[in-house]
Amino acid sequence: MQFGLLYEMQRPFEGTSVDWNTLYKETIEQCALADKVGFDAIWFVEHHFLTGFSGSPCPEVMFGALSQVTKRVRLGFGVSILPYHHPVRVAERVAMVDQLTNGRVEVGTGRSNAYELTGLGVDPRDTRALWEESITMLPKIWQSDEFSYEGKFYKVPPRRVLPKPFQQPHPRLYLACTQTDSFDVAAEKGIGVLSSATFATSILAEHVKRYRERVKTSTPVGATINEFWGSNVATYCGEDDTEAKELGARSLKTFFGPDKPYIRDRVNAYEDLLESWGGVPDHLKADFGRWLRQSDDAHKEQARQVGISLDSGPGAARAAFGEMDADTLRERGIIIAGDPEHCIKGIQLYEDAGVDQVLMIMQTETIPHEKVLSSMELFGKHVIPAFKSRSTSAPVAVGA
């Protein structure tokens, strides 16, 4: 089992105001500690416009800083949103960070969501094809002395793309998966999974098993098959078990809470798109179904006519968590929280499900910086050593 940290980069906010300077300095301090106490990887998201939720629009900037204050922990794009960026630019940024870190980079990829995409002038209906083209190009760019490409969205005349990654033949590739169909897409491409779909671990185990069976027969887009599976999970470790499990539960519920400042605008944007498009492609229906309002009869009927399920509604897919107590959330593996002994039990649930790495969300607006540091220290002292000798699937830099 491997231990990762996932950063949205959050801290308490008032209205639309966040102390950005403090947030970024605290994040660097936490990551430096993670490197010292034995965490295996640190992942940063790429999000835009999500007021009150994420302050991480350009993870490569953080990686530049972290390359100088860490020595061994791996740095993961969790993820790079390929439809936002020309593949050559993604390849260059990744390779440069990989050189700065002596081959410690992991490359998650994704397509994002309609709200963020439209804010950057990207048509959400194109994102699957854009992602497909980009994920095909990236390994070829890294492995080619001179690269050229002719596709639907990108045309690159013969060029030498510099620098090349430190890792050879190239860093590992992953797909961010927020819905179960994405697991099959990752398997077909022979790339790893970064799952942010929140399941009880008993259900998660079936998804991991299916993915592992399918990925073995893939035609990989990269040089080799990457069958590594990472799962996001809200995590907090403290000396007092009751206090720690309650703080962990509150962190999860606030993280997925329905009152984030960006949510109202996001709902309005999805309803406007549905009306202007008159329908939604199959690959966007799950995304739209999470955000359209059930209470609006007109949009409800229109959505059903084009085959969108509104069973979840805006934020309701995770609203059920709000009805669960801390013990239930912990027993089902939805959170890993409590004293070190209970955190070990929580990690064991994920190991038993076949997960290679838990991507723990510790830094949230409800967990102060000092408590994040304390939680990380307890993991380094008690939890990580309980699994370290059994770990066999760590990503390894191969260019050293």
Nearest to 80 by CA among 30, 130, 34, 125: 130
pLDDT higher than threshold 90 for residue 306: no
* pLDDT for 290: 66
pLDDT higher than threshold 90 for residue 316: no
User: How much is the average pLDDT of 349-375?
Assistant: 97
Alpha-carbon span 389 to 236, nearest angstrom: 23
The SS3 call for residue 147 is strand
pLDDT higher than threshold 70 for residue 301: no
Task: Report residue 331's pLDDT band, with 50, 70 and 90 as the boundaries.
Answer: very high
Alpha-carbon span 107 to 43, nearest angstrom: 9
**Encoded tokens for 130:** 């854009």
* pLDDT for 155: 98
pLDDT higher than threshold 70 for residue 47: yes
* pLDDT for 277: 77
Nearest to 175 by CA among 120, 106, 73, 261: 106
The SS3 call for residue 57 is coil
DSSP 184: H
Comparing 304 with 227, which gets the higher pLDDT? 227
* pLDDT for 390: 66
User: How much is the average pLDDT of 334-345?
Assistant: 97
Residue pLDDT, tens place only, 105-137:
999 999 998 899 999 999 999 999 999 999 999
Weakest mean pLDDT among 40-54, 245-259, 276-290, 337-351: 276-290
Task: Report residue 206's pLDDT band, with 50, 70 and 90 as the boundaries.
Answer: very high
User: How much is the average pLDDT of 203-225?
Assistant: 96
Residue pLDDT, tens place only, 216-257:
999 999 999 999 999 999 999 999 999 999 999 999 998 877
Task: Report residue 304's pLDDT band, with 50, 70 and 90 as the boundaries.
Answer: low
| Mean per-residue pLDDT over the chain, rounded | 89
The SS3 call for residue 180 is helix
Task: Report residue 356's pLDDT band, with 50, 70 and 90 as the boundaries.
Answer: very high
pLDDT higher than threshold 80 for residue 16: no
* pLDDT for 103: 98
Comparing 294 with 214, which gets the higher pLDDT? 214
Contact 23, 55 (CB under 8 A): yes
Q: What percent of the chain has pLDDT over 90?
A: 72
Q: Rounded to whole angstroms, what are the CA distances from 53 to 12, 38, 121, 161, 178?
A: 10, 27, 21, 35, 17
Task: Locate the domains of the chain by residue range.
Answer: 2-257+321-388, 258-317
Nearest to 326 by CA among 239, 252, 251, 245: 245
* pLDDT for 319: 59
Q: What percent of the chain has pLDDT over 70?
A: 86
- pTM here is 0.89
From the centroid of its chain, how far is CA 59? 12
Which strand (E) or helix (H) includes residue 195?
strand 192-195
Alpha-carbon span 360 to 236, nearest angstrom: 9
Q: Residues 6 or more apart from 2 whose CB is under 8 A from it?
A: 40, 41, 230, 356, 357, 358, 391, 393, 394, 395
State the fold for domain 2-257+321-388: TIM Barrel (3.20.20)
Alpha-carbon span 306 to 160, nearest angstrom: 46
Which strand (E) or helix (H) includes residue 361?
strand 357-361
User: How much is the average pLDDT of 154-171?
Assistant: 98
Give the Cβ contact number of residue 322 at 10 Å: 15
Residue pLDDT, tens place only, 57-113:
999 999 999 999 999 999 999 999 999 999 999 999 999 999 999 999 999 999 998
Tokens 């797909």 correspond to what residue? 175
* pLDDT for 197: 79
* pLDDT for 309: 56
Nearest to 180 by CA among 162, 198, 165, 163: 198
Tokens 């819905």 correspond to what residue? 179
Alpha-carbon span 106 to 166, nearest angstrom: 12
User: How much is the average pLDDT of 31-54?
Assistant: 95
